Structure 1
Amino acid sequence: MNIYDIAKEAGVSPATVSRVLNNHRNVKEETRNKILEVIKGKNYSPNMVARNLSVGISRNIAFMVPDIENPFFSKILHGISDKAMDNDYNVFMFGTAENTQREHKILDSLKIEMIKGLIIIPVSECDQETALRLEEFEAQGVPVVLIDRDIRNGRFDGVFSEDAEGAAGAVECLIQEGHRKIAIITGPSTSRPGHERLKGYKKALENHGIPVNKDYIICGNFMEEDSYKAMMKLLDMDDPPTAVFSSNNMTTLGCLRCLKERRLKLGRDISVVGFDDIKELEYTDTHLTAVTRPVYEMGCEAMRILERRFQDGEEMMGEKLIIQRNLVKTGLIKRGSEKHKEFQEEKQDE
């Protein structure tokens, strides 16, 4: 038997079983006796992996990401790994493929592995199954740190960016170049970056008295293929936008693929500003204006928070008194893709 079998038979949570096995005092005597009776009847003996997990001997850190092919997450991993190496921790990355069921499965498998902490970019902020699993990790003394994406109503530490502000700045840049017909290819509304960047887009339009055209708001799910199709749809409209705000790097790649097929040139035929820079474009003739943020440093900070949690140990019987929610600022690098030939000619005529 494992602690999950015991918990089911005793009618308690796995976290409660873990507390009893580790002699935590914050368990009712009646509940403790019930669990011990089940353990005695089943001749349960904790295996060393589970025991090491409980007492924090492990040096392993799990890092879960929605898309292992996205370079943004690789750069976060770089920051996490560098800080982890300073303290001799091992980092293992798991990809959830933007699928909550797969996320649940990985979290369930991690319960029997020997990990000391978990850093996760959750698929959806609304998924209660993931939230419950993360709470169980915390209850068992395995700290959880969120990065980039949040869990609604969760009490987890995290590192996030100023998504709404960054998006508003990108759209503001397009408006200053003369654009009024500005579209957005959004991420999923169930993620913090998805709804916050849409919020920033709308705010910038509102500040300049530009009505929000619902037809110009299309979801690309932060995926290249979906965003490619979204861009095709925008270009095929009877009244297409003159500019597009792309909500993340994979969205931008989908947009650029579509523009290449249509033989449209940035800064001449259409304007695009993306959220998150794409380093590889430095080696091409594509000069993308992009919202930037310290991605590597976000990974470093997530690992620093985890390390502080390790140092705090299990004070207050696992009750966390201070939740760290760190925000990093965004910037904007202009490279010319925010411009449009039509508006440049208008300025020259003036």
Structure 2
Amino acid sequence: MSERTLATNGPVLIIGTGLLGTSIALALRSGGVEVYLRDASPTAGRLAQDLGAGTLIAQDDPCSPRLVIVSTPPDVADVCVVDALLRYPQAVVTDVASVKSAVCDGVFDEAKRRGADIPSRYVGSHPMAGRERSGAGAADADLFYGRPWVIVPNRYSTPDAVMEIRSLAVDLGAFPIEMDARTHDQSVALISHVPQLVSSMLAARLVDAPLSALSLSGQGLRDTTRIAASDPRLWTAILAGNAGPVVEVLREIRGDLDDLIEHFDAAAQRGPLEGGSVGAVHRVMDLGNRGVARIPGKHGGAPTRYAVLDVFVPDTAGSLGRLFTELGEIGVNIEDLSLEHSAGAQMGVARISLDPSILASTVKQLEERGWNTGSGD
């Protein structure tokens, strides 16, 4: 993120220096905002400070932030929010936990327990950005660029407090979307939390898989298991905090699985074309096609169909960079890109998504420049 003037005024205190907290801090620092960091783990806090995310302070160090961002796991976020509201009476406080109902309810319960009437300065939020790697070492100032940032005011949140969090989201390159807590939790259960579980369950089948099977692995397996490398401790807290909406989606998936198992059992006993197995598989695949077609396209726009061009790239230094350079010279805008590798092959395949209207001319010009697109006679 290039340095520019931000609407967010410092000092900003960030509690929790994991992936999200440190990424927010780096983005704010790049805009010249004064940032303080606090973390229950001194080692994590020092790493974030060494990365240039801000100045590490202890629990009792004096600090007068205008904005406090709680970036802790959801199971402790409510207590941290109320602590911040009590300790910094002039500050707006937000959390960036990926569940909202449990945290928002917890803030109200904790405030009531401590005799504090303070939720008007609290606005929940959740940037829809992340990686399978966690911790400050994976942080990136551009992590939120072009991503949704959900803002979840409570019934007492002041307009000024809500505007403060909207400004934060815009400053970090995200686009703010306002939702109530329940709608948010139902949405993330469907598009984030259950996909994480499904990916992990699929990858778990590989633990005892024979090497002969794993040696055949291709990009499809890598794509579907990539997020299975996520932090188990963090995701345990997230999923437990959103158990209700998650289990609703899991029950729907279980219905599909039970239907498939029933028909595959019948096919295994009576023959591959018996027992209705063909129809059951087709139903699931067809619904999957229709679901994928509804996923928004680039920048959150309408779904767009692109042509996919495969280009064979030698596994040598500079080859991929040369391909990008020559695509730029041809005038091709790469809409999306994936790289595939086969075991034992000394080359990879760059799968480039591009405007269908320029596919034929791009193939012709690349092959004239010596690239193999696999489309020759």
Instruction: Normalising by structure 1, report the TM-score.
Output: 0.30
Q: Which has the higher contact order (CA 8 A, sep 6+)?
A: 1
